[in-house]
Structures are given as structure tokens and as C-alpha cells.
Structure 1
Amino acid sequence: MNPGIIGQAVGLFAVTNIDDILVLALFFAQGAGHPGSSRRIATGQYLGFAAILAVAVAAAFGATFLPEKAIPYLGLLPLALGIKAAVQAWRHRGDSEEERGRADRGPKVLEVAAVTFANGGDNIGVYVPVFATAGVGGMSVFAVVFLILLAVWIAAGRYVATRPVIARALSRWGHILLPVVLIGIGSLILIEGGAFGL
């Protein structure tokens, strides 16, 4: 296995996914105290990222399941989830942290997958030319390295969310931060992609 391509894969993954650690930390904070939430978050992250890889690999071979003009509209997924989370936060605004925790069951697999896929939609544009020039063997190396690093990213997100100072802050403000971050990600994707003529 070529160490140069492994280094390229590590660098490419880190640069294109650095923002995911914050989103993962917020999901882990939302899931704190809910059995099975870590598994649901990890499963959702892997499903969403697998979809990103599948689309990028297909596009590198010339198939376009997702037209380039459709990518900016992926911002609607985190925007809708952010609005849903904001409505829930508003409904439970007078609740104590404990009551909020009981009302919230933690993140769902498909919600995490949708946010991961939408947030990584711009990654597809970066991955396609790299994959196309890497060939089948190189693409396989990139995919394996990305999937290994995804586990590291999930662990880092969980680590950040469980640091005592951060955990207290996220426990107190996470129900507000999550919708703000999701709405921000969705809006940014829509605006940067020029969706709806923005």
C-alpha cells in the first residue's frame, strides 16, 4: 500500500470533515443519558458518510445519481431538522434540564445520516476528481482510510461532548446550540450553492 496515498487520504478527510466534530459533539450532548444514543449517532454518521462515498465513487466513474445543481438543495435537510429542533426547544423552554432530557429521546439514526450527508454534499465535489484520478485501487485506499478516520471523528466528537466543562455547557445550552448550528449549516449550504437564486 502506497504511504503517499494514505497521507493524501488522511489530509483530504481532515480538511473536508473538520466541521463534523462540532456537529457530532452536539449530537452526543443531545443523546447524553439516553441508552443506545452513541450507537445511533455512530450508525447515522456511517450511513450518511457511506452515501457521500457512494455518490462520489459513482460520479468518478461517470454516473451522476445526484446532479450538481441538486447539491445546494441538500441544505434543506439540516435546515428542516434545525427548525424541528428549535420548535422542540421552544416547546420545552420552561422545563428543567432533567425534564428536557426526558422529553428528548436523543438523535435518531436517519437524522444524523441526513445531516452528515447534507453537510458533506460539498465534499462530493472535492472527492470526485481525486477519485477519478486515483483509479480503482487508489479509490479503495481512500475509502478504507476515510471509514477508519470516521471512527476517530466519532470518538473525538464524543470526547469533546464529555469533557466536564463542555458537557455542562452543552447540557445547559445544547438544546439551543443544536438548532442554531443545523439551521446555520443548512442556510450556508443553500447560500453557497446558489439555491433558489440566493
Structure 2
Amino acid sequence: MITVAIAAFVATNIDDLFLLAGWFVRRTPAANILVGQLVGFSLLVGVSIGLFLLGTNLPHTAIRWLGILPIAIGVKTLLRDYDGGGESPSSWFSVATVTVANGVDNVGVYVPLFLQHRESIPQIIAIFYAGLIVWVIIAKLFERTLALSKSAHRVAHQLAPVVVILVGIIILLGG
């Protein structure tokens, strides 16, 4: 379960890592970045929990079929053209808004994950928040090596959908 939670977090938030690095490069205050990330991510987790609660009435065998959602998201991401976007304002609210907009597809991965691992939801959420803090720290480090982060972003952008698809397959298989 820990490995699946880490894989789900990394796959659904890899692009966010590079958005964070971009805010640091533009000298957005670290407090604004951290608060914005926490608020935006909390909204995504809250929506996922709400949808999980609606889905708890589903039979266990039907829950596995929700693994199709992350697979569809991964395939859609592989097929679409990526647009890096423009400059982002530096307030915590702007960071939160971009976090939600960039992460809305995370819900399609988190809900089936929560349904598959009901007893581990608190641990999964703790892993997600620990990952969020690590992401902010890594993004701060990327600030110093922006050239590396640009090429790493291309690789991560190509790899993230594959990992999301793998998470979906694991859910479909009941793992």
C-alpha cells in the first residue's frame, strides 16, 4: 500500500513539482508557495474523500473497475499536447488555484485508491502530505538548477501518465 500511495502521489503531482520550481525562480515567497500548495492540495483531497464516501456503497468487485479512471487519465495525458502556460501570480491564493486546476485529474486517481484501500486512507493521506512537503523542498533545490529542471520536466511529463496508468492497472487487479 505504501508503494502504491507513493506512486499515485508522484504520478499525479510530477508536473506540479515544476510549477513549484517556477514560482521559486520568479521569487515567489516560500510561505505563499507552501500555503497555496497546502490549501489547493487539501481541496483536492477533500473532494476525493467526499466522492469516496459516496462510493462506499459500491460492491467491492465494482470498486476495482474504478481503476479505469486513472488509466483513462493517463491515456488522455499521453495523447494531449502539453502547454506549459505562462507566468503565474505569486500570491498563496494564486498558487492554490493553479494547484487545484493542475491537479483536478488527481481526484480520478485518489478516489479509486481510497476505495481500494479503505483501511489505509489515513496513512495514504499522510504519505501524500509528506510528499507535498518533499515536493516544495525539491522545487526549492531546482530553483538553482533551472536548466536541469527544464529537461527533467520533459522526461517527467512523459513518465507521469505511464505511472498513472500503472496505478490504474494495480487498482483493476485488486492490489
Q: TM-score range by the shorter chain?
A: 0.5 to 0.7
Q: In the alignment, is residue 14 of structure 1 matched against residue 10 of structure 2?
A: yes
Q: How does 1:39-50 map to 2 (within 5 A)?
A: 39-50=31-42
**Which residue in 1 is equivalent to 2:97?**
114
Q: In the alignment, is residue 132 of structure 1 matched against residue 115 of structure 2?
A: yes
**Which residue in 2 is equivalent to 1:51?**
43
Q: Say how many residue pairs are matched.
A: 121
Q: How does 1:86-97 map to 2 (within 5 A)?
A: none
SS at structure 2 position matched to 1:120 = helix
Task: Give the letter aligned to residue 18 of structure 1.
Answer: I
Higher relative contact order (CA 8 A, sep 6+): 2
Listed one character per residue, the Cα deviations across residues 8-48 of structure 1 (whole Å, up to 9, x for unaligned) are 1111101111111110011111126xxxx001101101110
Q: After TM superposition, give the deviation of residue 61 of structure 1 in Å.
A: 0.5
Q: After TM superposition, give the deviation of residue 133 of structure 1 in Å.
A: 2.1
SS at structure 1 position matched to 2:117 = helix
Whole-angstrom CA distance in 2 between matches of 1:31 and 1:38: 8
Whole-angstrom CA distance in 2 between matches of 1:156 and 1:107: 19
Q: After TM superposition, give the deviation of residue 132 of structure 1 in Å.
A: 1.5
Whole-angstrom CA distance in 2 between matches of 1:138 and 1:57: 13
Q: After TM superposition, give the deviation of residue 162 of structure 1 in Å.
A: 2.2
Whole-angstrom CA distance in 1 between matches of 2:8 and 2:116: 14
Q: In the alignment, is residue 155 of structure 1 matched against residue 137 of structure 2?
A: yes
Whole-angstrom CA distance in 2 between matches of 1:125 and 1:157: 25
Structure 2, unpaired ranges of 5+ = 56-82, 151-175
Listed one character per residue, the Cα deviations across residues 54-83 of structure 1 (whole Å, up to 9, x for unaligned) are 0001100018xxxxxxxxxxxxxxx9xx67
SS at structure 2 position matched to 1:31 = coil
Larger Rg: 1
Structure 1, unpaired ranges of 5+ = 64-78, 87-105, 171-198
Whole-angstrom CA distance in 1 between matches of 2:6 and 2:112: 16
| Runs of 4 or more consecutive aligned structure 1 residues displaced over 6 Å after TM superposition | none
TM-score where L is the length of structure 1: 0.56
